[in-house]
Amino acid sequence: MHRFQYVFREISRRKARTSVAIAGYTLAVAMCSLVLAIFYASKESGDNVLANTGTHFIAFVPARVADAAISVFRDDTISCFLTGGIIARTMPGDVLESVKAIPSITDAAPFLMFRVKSLAPVNAVIPNNIDYEHDSESLMLASRCERCLRNYLMMKSEEPMMLASRDGTSLPATPADSLTVGGFDPANKEAVGTTCCAETDVISGRFLHPGDKGMLLVEEAYARAMGLKSGDSIKVAGRAFNVAGIVNPGIRPAKADVYMTYTEAEVMARAHMTQGPPTRIMTAILVQVRHARRQEEAIQAVRKLIPDVVVSSYACYRPAAKVIGINEKTAWILVTVLQLGAILFAVKSQTASLVERRRDIGILKVLGWTNGAIAGLIFTEATFLAFVGSLIGCVGAIILLLLLPKDLMGILSLNSIPAIAYVMIGIVCCLSMLGGIIAGIFPVLHATRMLPLEALRRL
């Protein structure tokens, strides 16, 4: 009798054992596929968020002491270019396209920031008798910056004021002498939104539109300090602007007191420069990276491209990339554990099958069947059972995924329905078949060590 005939005869003869063995593989594959599909959908939802976490930075070149001595402005309306509170140099405009061309970078946008003097003609001074340590609103502002505190107190006071510093010394009263202006491209949602200001940051009023003229956004804390609200008119560098909206961009690398379109900011800067560069003026490049894992690569590429560049970024891309890695490892650990479970089940089933057929194997050995032929018999049976079980498991998994209740998404906080990943199901199926072969190893070793006549006589 041919090996396959023998295997099929055995399988069909011992229906209960065959059914249990096949059911084991079916359950293992179906559960594996189902759990993995849900896990991957969950992982994908999480990874999508994590992949975009901290995937942005700003690149700028700080001004050196020698640069600071050379004024590029023809008057004192604009005191300096800066980025994030640091006096900065302008960068050549053409470098933006080179940054955009870096493979790990999704998008890049120009950013122009400068400090403007003389926001408001204030002649008040801070009184030395204000105990701002016990004024909660003052205290809050004091914790942000001394300049805001001064401005705030000047706006409130009708009396000449002196500012009392915390160490008891008196500071000279100074007018609200400056504010920082940030110019960005409102049309660029990707690079600008994560590093500078986004539409979702609007608290009142509206966001800037690309074609806006004479409109600006005011940062919330600054607006509160200055008592500004949407619709107000203010002058910046001698030019009147309407407050389009109040924004709270949170802690962003490119944060300013007021924001206007990049075009208007550039026009304003050029109007006060002795000689503007032929290309666009920008003090920083706002960069959006493709994936948290590529952040480091992108930063290195920008550093290589722009000499003396300083990159300002959140480090949260590092834990994000780490969590993505942990998710992937978890997936593989899950697959391994489930498959090991299936293999252990199969080993038990195959061993039980072998014990039942101990006598048959003894007879076959006596008849001259080699250990190799008997091993082939056991492997054929194990693989066949695994194949049939896995095939049914695959179909079962697909049906289960099709029937999966849609409200499961809400329960599991998934962004998408667990997809029928045919490749993954195929891999699970192959792993199960491999498991079937592995499961056959122990019984094969057992069978090859069996002394035939002893096996026959004990029964």
Q: Which of 327, 371, 380, 383 binds other proteins (CB under 8 A)?
A: 371
Q: Which of 49, 187, 399, 451 binds other proteins (CB under 8 A)?
A: 451
Residue 3 Cβ, how far from other proteins at the closest point, in Å?
A: 11
Residue 441 Cβ, how far from other proteins at the closest point, in Å?
A: 17
Q: Is 372 one of the binding residues for other proteins (CB under 8 A)?
A: yes
Report the alpha-carbon distance of residue 384 to residue 388 in Å, rounded.
Answer: 6
Amino acid at 302: V
Q: In terms of CB distance, is 9 or 270 closer to other proteins?
A: 9
Do residues 132 and 143 make contact, with C-beta atoms less than 8 angstroms apart?
no
Q: Which of 3, 10, 79, 312 binds other proteins (CB under 8 A)?
A: 10
Is beta strand 202-205 parallel, antiparallel or unpaired with respect to 239-247? Answer: antiparallel
Residue 383 Cβ, how far from other proteins at the closest point, in Å?
A: 19
CB-based contacts of 422, cutoff 8 Å, min separation 6: none
Do residues 161 and 130 make contact, with C-beta atoms less than 8 angstroms apart?
yes
Q: Is 368 one of the binding residues for other proteins (CB under 8 A)?
A: yes
Do residues 132 and 149 make contact, with C-beta atoms less than 8 angstroms apart?
yes
Number of residues assigned to the chain: 459
Q: Which of 360, 387, 420, 434 binds other proteins (CB under 8 A)?
A: 360
Segment near other proteins (CB under 8 A), from 4-12, 220-228, 249-257, 281-289? 4-12
Q: Is 380 one of the binding residues for other proteins (CB under 8 A)?
A: no
Segment near other proteins (CB under 8 A), from 56-64, 235-243, 299-307, 361-369? 361-369
Report the alpha-carbon distance of residue 336 to residue 67 in Å, rounded.
Answer: 61
Report the alpha-carbon distance of residue 249 to residue 246 in Å, rounded.
Answer: 10
Report the alpha-carbon distance of residue 129 to residue 63 in Å, rounded.
Answer: 39
Report the alpha-carbon distance of residue 101 to residue 95 in Å, rounded.
Answer: 10
Is beta strand 258-261 parallel, antiparallel or unpaired with respect to 215-219? Answer: antiparallel
Q: What part of residues 421-450 is at the interface with other proteins (CB under 8 A)?
A: 448
Q: Is 454 one of the binding residues for other proteins (CB under 8 A)?
A: yes
The backbone region for 168, taken as left when phi is positive above 0, alpha when psi lies in -120 to 50, beta otherwise, is: left
Q: Is 367 one of the binding residues for other proteins (CB under 8 A)?
A: yes
Amino acid at 382: A
Q: Is 375 one of the binding residues for other proteins (CB under 8 A)?
A: no
Segment near other proteins (CB under 8 A), from 26-34, 281-289, 304-312, 366-374? 366-374
Report the alpha-carbon distance of residue 119 to residue 176 in Å, rounded.
Answer: 7
Residue 14 Cβ, how far from other proteins at the closest point, in Å?
A: 8
Residue 317 structure tokens: 């891309």
* C-alpha separations of 289 from 54, 306, 350, 418 in Å: 9, 17, 53, 27
Segment near other proteins (CB under 8 A), from 167-175, 268-276, 357-365, 396-404? 357-365
Segment near other proteins (CB under 8 A), from 239-247, 264-272, 359-367, 424-432? 359-367
Q: Is 352 one of the binding residues for other proteins (CB under 8 A)?
A: no
Q: In terms of CB distance, is 255 or 365 closer to other proteins?
A: 365
Segment near other proteins (CB under 8 A), from 338-346, 396-404, 426-434, 451-459? 451-459
- Give the residues lining the site for other proteins (CB under 8 A): 1-2, 6, 9-10, 13, 359-360, 362-372, 448, 451-454, 456-457, 459
